[in-house]
Amino acid sequence: MSHALLLSTAVSTTGGSGGGGIAQIMGLVIGGILINNYVLSRFLGICPFLGVSKQLDSAVGMGAAVVFVMAMAGAACYALWQLLLVPLHLEYLSTIVFILIIAALVQLVEMVLLKYSPALYKALGIYLPLITTNCAVLGVAVLNKDAGYNLGLSVVNAVAGALGFTLALVLMAGLRERMEYSDVPLFLKGKPATFILAGVMSMAFLGFAGLGV
Amino acid sequence: MSLWKDFSNGFYTENPIFRISLGMCPFLALSTSVQNAIGMGAAATFVLVWSNVAISSLRNVIPEKIRIPCYIVFIATFVSLVDMVMAAYAPPLHKSLGIYIPLIVVNCIILGRAEAFANKNTVISSLLDGIGMGIGFTLAMALMASIREILGNGTWYGINLLGQRFANQPVLMAILPPGAFILMGYILGVFNIIDRRKERAA
C-alpha cells in the first residue's frame, strides 16, 4: 500500500492547477527542494550533478549560476509562451523556442556579468556555458507550461527547483570530499561509488515524501 | 570493414551509457519498466539517426562559429516531430514518457555524436553511427529496466514472471529513484571487473 503512496507523491506536484495563494507557493517550494528534488527524484540535471560535485567550492558556484539562470528562464519561457506561441497558435514549436531562449539567455547572462560584475563572472565563468545543456532548466520550462502556472508561480517553481538542485549538489560535494579518504572497494572506485552515494542520498530524500504538501 | 566499426562502436566499446556516461537523465528516470525503456530508446534513436544524417550532410555549409546553435535547432526539430507523432499514434506511451520527450533535446548523447562524429564524417558513416549508438542506448536501457522491473514489480514487459506472492511484496526500492542510482553503481562496478579481467588476460 505504501508503495502506491510513494509513487503517487513522486508525480503529484506536476499536476497542480494555475491558482495562487500562499499554500500553493509553499507547496511548490517544499516540493521542489525536498519532496520532488529535481536531481534525486526526478533525475533532471544528472550530468552537472555528477560532473561538478567533486569539490565544495565549485558546487556552490554552479548552484548559484543555476538558480540565477533558472529563475530567468522560468520567467522568459512563460512570457514567450503566453505572449507569442499561444496567440499565434504555434504551441507545437515550444521545444525549439524554449531551448533557443535558454541558450540565448545563458549567453546574455554571461555577457552582462562580464561587463558589470567581473568578480561574479570569474566565480561563475566556467559553469555558465554548461547550463544550456542542464536538463533541469528546460525541464522546469516544460513543467511550468504543462501545469499552466502563472508568471509568479512559474518563477517560484523555477527557483525552488534550482535550490533543490543546489542543495543536492552541495551535499553531494561534501560527501564526495569525505569519500576521498575512505576505503572504497577497488571495483567500485570512482564513478560506481558516486552513483551508490547518490542512491543513499536519494533514499534519505524519499523520507520527505511523507510530508504530504 | 570500417563501416562495420562505425556501426558496432556504440554496442559495447563506446556504449553511450556504460562507457561514456552520457544521457543519464532519461536512462535513470525511465528504466522503471521495459515498455518505457524501449519507447524512450526508439525515440532517442530516431532523433539521433536523423540529426546525424542532417548534420553530416550539411557539415560543409554550417558556419564553424554557430555550429552548436544550428545542431540544437536540428535536434529540437526532430524531437518535436517525435513528440507529435507519438502523441497522435501512441498516446499511452506519450503520457508515460511525459516531460522526458522534450528533454531529448538536451540529451548529451545526441549533441555529443553531432559534435564528435557527424561533423567530421560522411553521411553513410554518420547514419550507421547513429543507428549503432541508438541501439547501444536502447540495449542499456532495456538491461537496466529488466533488472528494475523484475525486482521491483515481479514482471518483465508486463508479463508476470515471479508469481503472485512476489508481486505482492516486491523489492520496491528497485523501482523507486534510489534503486536506479544504486543499481547503476553496481552495474558500472561489474563493468570495471570485466575490464580488469580483460586487461590481465591481454
Is there a contact between A192 and B188 if contact means CB atoms under 8 Å apart?
Answer: yes
Q: Which of residues 98-117 of B touch A (CB under 8 A)?
A: 98-99, 102-103, 105-108, 111
pLDDT at site A170: 94
**Nearest-by-Cβ selection for A195 from B103, B188, B193:** B188
Is there a contact between B106 and A135 if contact means CB atoms under 8 Å apart?
Answer: yes
How near does any CA of chain A get to the CA of B201, in Å?
17
Residue with cell 516540493: A31
Residues 6+ apart with CB under 8 A from A173: A53, A54, A55, A56, A58, A59, A60
pLDDT at site B1: 56
pLDDT at site A127: 74
Tell whether the model's pLDDT for residue A9 goes beyond 80.
no
Which residues of chain B lie closer than 8 angstroms to A198, CB-CB? Answer: 181
- Average pLDDT of every residue of chain B: 91
Residue A133 pLDDT grade (very low, low, confident, very high; cuts 50, 70, 90): confident
Is there a contact between A95 and B29 if contact means CB atoms under 8 Å apart?
Answer: no
pLDDT at site A3: 45
How near does any CA of chain A get to the CA of B1, in Å?
33
pLDDT at site A195: 94
| ipTM of this complex prediction, to 2 decimal places | 0.89
Distance CA B93, CA B199 (A): 42
**Nearest-by-Cβ selection for B99 from A100, A132, A143:** A143
Given a contact cutoff of 8 angstroms between Cβ atoms, the answer to whether A146 and A91 are in contact is no
Residue B149 pLDDT grade (very low, low, confident, very high; cuts 50, 70, 90): very high
Closest-CA residue in chain A for B153? A3
- What's the Cα-to-Cα distance from B148 to each of A42, A83, A203, A205, B137, rounded to whole Å? 16, 43, 16, 20, 17
How near does any CA of chain A get to the CA of B124, in Å?
27
pLDDT top residue among A108 and B43: B43
- From the candidates A46, A52, A197, A205, which should be mutated to test the interface with B, based on the most B CB atoms within 10 A? A46
pLDDT at site A121: 80
Q: What is the pTM of this model?
A: 0.87
How near does any CA of chain A get to the CA of B123, in Å?
24
Residue A213 pLDDT grade (very low, low, confident, very high; cuts 50, 70, 90): low
Residue A135 pLDDT grade (very low, low, confident, very high; cuts 50, 70, 90): confident
Residue A20 pLDDT grade (very low, low, confident, very high; cuts 50, 70, 90): low
Residue A1 pLDDT grade (very low, low, confident, very high; cuts 50, 70, 90): very low
Residue A11 pLDDT grade (very low, low, confident, very high; cuts 50, 70, 90): very low
Residue A16 pLDDT grade (very low, low, confident, very high; cuts 50, 70, 90): very low
Which residues of chain A lie closer than 8 angstroms to B106, CB-CB? Answer: 99, 132-135, 138
B181 in reach of chain A (CB within 8 A)? yes
Which residues of chain B lie closer than 8 angstroms to A92, CB-CB? Answer: 80, 83-84
Residue B40 pLDDT grade (very low, low, confident, very high; cuts 50, 70, 90): very high
Instruction: Write the DSSP assignment of chain B as a string of letters.
Output: -HHHHHHHTTTTTT-TTTTT---HHHHHHSTTSHHHHHHHHHHHHHHHHHHHHHHHHTTTTS-STTHHHHHHHHHHHHHHHHHHHHHHH-HHHHHHHGGGTGGGGG-HHHHHHIIIIITTS-HHHHHHHHHHHHHHHHHHHHHHHHHHHHHHHSEETTEE-SHHHHHHS--GGGTSHHHHHHHHHHHHHHHHHHHHHHHHH-
How near does any CA of chain A get to the CA of B37, in Å?
15
State the average pLDDT over residues A142-161: 93
State the average pLDDT over residues B92-121: 90
Is there a contact between A43 and B180 if contact means CB atoms under 8 Å apart?
Answer: yes
Is there a contact between A50 and B24 if contact means CB atoms under 8 Å apart?
Answer: yes
Highest mean pLDDT among A47-61, A103-117, B11-25, B176-190: B176-190
Residue B169 pLDDT grade (very low, low, confident, very high; cuts 50, 70, 90): confident
Is there a contact between B72 and A99 if contact means CB atoms under 8 Å apart?
Answer: yes
Grid cell at residue A95: 521545444
